[in-house]
A and B are shown apart, each in its own frame.
Chain A
Amino acid sequence: MTLATIALNNLRRRKGRAVFLLIGLLLGVGTVVTLFSLTSALTAEAQHKMENFGANIIISPRTDKLSLSYGAINLGGITVDQEEIREADLSKLSTIPNSRNIALVAPKSLSAVQAKGERVLLMGIRPESEFKLKRWWSVAGRVLRSDDELVAGNAVAKRLGLRQGDGIDIGDRHFTVTGILNETGSQDDHLLLSTLGAAQSLSGKEGIVSLVEVAALCGDCPVEDMVKQISSVLPDAEVNAIQQVVKTRMHALQQFRLFSFAVGGVIVLTGGLVVFVTMMSSVNERTREIGIFRALGFRRSHVMRLILIESMSISFFSGVLGYLLGMAVTWLVLPFVGEGSHAWMWHPLLAVGAVVMAMGVGCLATIYPALHAGRMDPTEALRAL
């Protein structure tokens, strides 16, 4: 028989108290686990969305603007010394330190062309990367594959009366319309989409791109650093991060996380108080028993260990059950607060954290009752016999 046998036997005998203690801590741990896993799931979901929707770094040619003003009269400005981005230079993106964070590079060539007697905007793209980047694009028909194929934006197709399979001449080239872009409600509705090579050839700017979109968002992407790194390898380009949406969402989640920690802290503190009060009253009720132990030769430290073992056992189970409860609640709640169930997952580290937290709180809350038990005068206890 060991001190643990005595402690566990006592817990078995006082089942009601043990269950009360367990619930007190379990609720605290469960709440913290729920809030933490919920926040993690929502953050992961937000990140996943950001990864799927759109670019977050734009590379455009560097320009110098000259302001035209004289006295109080402002005549607007003109663009001077516009630099160009060479398509070949884009290979330098793979040399930046954070190149592994780059998911997609989508260069574009923009030019104004005449089609069926109307002036429209032609955008040359790399279809495979562009359609991956613009996941919200859907095409009635099929995506363009070769230099003599073209996809028309919804508005421009209506304006020019284009349908799938129609032929259209632009400059000295003949194109076949393979599909019509379904309405996006954006500027994309007014574009004709061709391959990058075809657009560059029509504008006479082979090897030159007008704009590059880079998808690089992920959980821990240092976007600001990446902007600096890209600027250093493409000194003639203007590199900007589109972070507003990400920052807003992340800021909201960060606020929620802080709020969660504050709420969790209060609940765990309450759980700690429940442990303290319960253990204190348990010690006071067991004066006689402690007196017997002391008379039989138990040291103060033995009595303290006995009390701590009881509390630690309960705390351990509270941690394990609290984790399971928290994960179950997250699983139930996530479909109502999130927009997908893919983000729910087991967190082994959180499980360890929950058990450590429960045992830490249980231990801290039991230190004083254990000291009190250890300090009990055996004669006082015997007087109570």
Chain B
Amino acid sequence: MSLIEINALSKQYTSEADCVAALSGIDLSVDEGSFLGVVGASGSGKSTFLTMLGGLSHPTSGSVVIDEIDLYQLPGERLADFRREYIGFVFQSFNLIEYLNAIENVLLPLTVKALPKAEKYALAEDALAQVGLGHRMHHLPSQLSGGEQERVAIARALVNKPPLILADEPTGSLDSATSREIMALFAGLNAQGQTIVMVTHNLENLDYFNRTIHLHDGKLTDDRVAGQHCLAS
């Protein structure tokens, strides 16, 4: 069953002197439970693609439909509500709030949600346990290793139990051993049915994806399902 439907998605950045097409006419359908890898050279439009998929940046044209909700037709602050309920972000460089400890960082998406305090903490503790950090809940990010910080970021993305996780270069700042641990963690989540879209330029990560798309100059140039034929070229 398709979770994401992208139709003719385009994004242009215009300035007085120039007009740059960051994305051009992307059509894509992503099934529920997929682990989609988005690869491409620097400047190919990977991050723009991810921000549009996450409802962070309006497209110049086209649409993004997730779980039958057309993101950019949502009025006002409903897009923020959508991000909170439907999407878990894992950023490059972890992007934890440095003055909040691990559990408080994980609690962030729940902060503005109308839930009892005990339930919020239970969800956050579960998420941290799920990434193997149940024993480091009250440590500040500065007291955690890179891999542990990445796990906190993943727990933060998971805490709301969103249908979709978007990850932007999550292993970009990690050594190869830790990268493999993190990718294994993502693969484990995917194995439990979690849909994940991950931007990466690390070719070692390709093995974990069950589908990979290539972007080049804002265009979708390759779409390949693991062990199967090429879907687009």
Contacts and interface: CB of A to CB of B under 8 A. Distances in A.
Nearest to A289: B97
Contact of B108 (A293, A300, A385): A293
A297 B95 contact: no
Contacts of B47: 382
Interface residues of B, number: 32
A297 B56 CA distance: 10
Interface string A264-298: 00000000000000000000000011001111111
Contacts of A6: 97, 100, 104, 108, 111
Interface stretch (A7-15, A16-24, A110-118, A364-372): A7-15
A244 interface: no
A379 B89 contact: no
A297 B51 contact: no
A5 B112 CA distance: 12
| Residue among A292, A295, A300 facing the most chain B CB atoms (10 A cut-off) | A295
B83 A297 contact: yes
B92 interface: yes
B109 A288 contact: no
Given A5-B104, A295-B89, A302-B112, A379 B56 contact: yes
Contact of B91 (A2, A302, A385): A385
A13 B83 contact: no
Contacts of A295: 54, 56, 83, 89, 91
B165 to A, nearest CB: 13
Contacts of B57: 377-379
A375 interface: no
A158 interface: no
A278 B74 CA distance: 35
Contacts of A12: 99
Nearest to A295: B89
Contact of B112 (A3, A10, A292): A3
Interface in A29-59: none
B119 to A, nearest CB: 12
Interface of A, helix, strand, loop or mixed by DSSP: helix
Given A289-B97, A297-B112, A1 B85 contact: no
Given A6-B100, A300-B80, A1 B107 contact: yes
Interface in B56-89: 56-57, 77, 80-85, 87, 89
B181 interface: no
B198 to A, nearest CB: 16
Contacts, number: 81
Nearest to A294: B80
Interface in B121-140: none
A2 B111 contact: yes
Given A292-B95, A296-B89, A382-B56, A9 B112 contact: no
A367 to B, nearest CB: 19
A317 B186 CA distance: 46
B159 to A, nearest CB: 10
Contacts of A255: none
B83 A296 contact: yes
A297 B107 contact: no
| Residue among A1, A288, A296, A297 facing the most chain B CB atoms (10 A cut-off) | A297
A65 interface: no
Contacts of B107: 1
Contact of B92 (A294, A299, A300, A385): A385
A297 B108 CA distance: 9
B59 to A, nearest CB: 12
Contacts of B160: 297
B120 interface: yes
A299 B80 contact: yes
A341 interface: no
Nearest to B47: A382
A292 B77 contact: no
B120 A1 contact: yes
B108 A296 contact: yes
Nearest to A301: B77
B120 A299 contact: no
List 4 tightest A-B contacts by C-beta distance, closest first.
A297-B84, A13-B99, A379-B57, A299-B77
16 contacts: A1-B107, A6-B104, A13-B98, A292-B108, A294-B56, A295-B89, A295-B91, A297-B83, A297-B109, A297-B112, A298-B84, A301-B77, A378-B57, A379-B51, A382-B51, A382-B91
